[in-house]
Each structure stands twice: as structure tokens, then as C-alpha cells.
Amino acid sequence: VQLVESGGGLVQPGGSLKLSCTMPQWELDAYAVTWFRQAPGKGREGVSSISKSAGRKYYSDAVRGRFTISRDIAESTVYLQMNNLVPDDTGLYYCGARETMPGSSDWWEEAKIDSWGQGTQVTVSS
């Protein structure tokens, strides 16, 4: 499935951004979606994941309490609301779709992802 991320940009520390991950109409029902990010010189890390029904949501320790993941079936989009951003949040943010249910022990695993988007850049700097 094709995924398209948007919403990245340059923001000051303490600011907010809302990322979108959109797929073709009516395909979102078939997938759980995970957001990943990759900081310069570092590996890709899982940020947050949401199940097909939105009944399960997961967050990394680094973003819990600041980021919120949600999905809109009608818009075929998964959102990542990012508040109180800090410089360590800087990176290229990717969304990935998976057909399997994410669990507490594997929601961050890249190997579980079936399709990737191209990424959107988030830069947090004063």
C-alpha cells in the first residue's frame, strides 16, 4: 500500500506539529500503522503505533505524554500530534503499515512493517 507523510517542518522548542500519514481511500481498515523517526547519524526508532481498530496505542518512553496518535477512517489517515517538542525530536519521520496486530513486545519492530512512506522532516531548533 502507498503511504504519504506530511506535516513536518521547522519549529521552536516547546512548539507543536501534527504529522499525517495518508493511504489510498478505504485501505486504512486493513492496517495498523507505526510512526518511526531517524535522527542524523542514528538508527530508526519506533515512536508510536496504533492498531487497526485504534483500540491499542503504544508510545516510546521518549514521547509518552507529549505525542498522541490517532486515526480517521473516513480520511484514510493516521495522525501524530506532537506537543512540547524538544531538539531531540529532530529527525526524519516515517510511517509504516503492517497487517499484523502490534503488541507491547513488537510494536516498534521494523521487520513487521509491510509498506513504508517516504518520510517527512521535523526540525526542532531555536
- The pLDDT of residue 106: 95
Q: Tell which residue, 29, 88, 40, 32, has the closest CA to residue 60.
A: 88
pLDDT, block means (10 residues), the chain with 126 residues:
96 98 91 96 96 93 98 95 98 96 94 96 97
- The pLDDT of residue 116: 97
Give the full edge-to-edge strand order of the sheet including 4-6. 4-6, 17-22, 77-82, 67-72
- The pLDDT of residue 8: 98
DSSP category for residue 14: T
- The pLDDT of residue 97: 97
- The pLDDT of residue 26: 83
Long-range contacts of 47-50, Cβ-Cβ distance < 8 Å, separation of 24 or more: 47/80, 47/93, 48/80, 49/102, 49/107, 49/108, 50/78, 50/102
Cα separation of 122 and 17, whole Å? 9
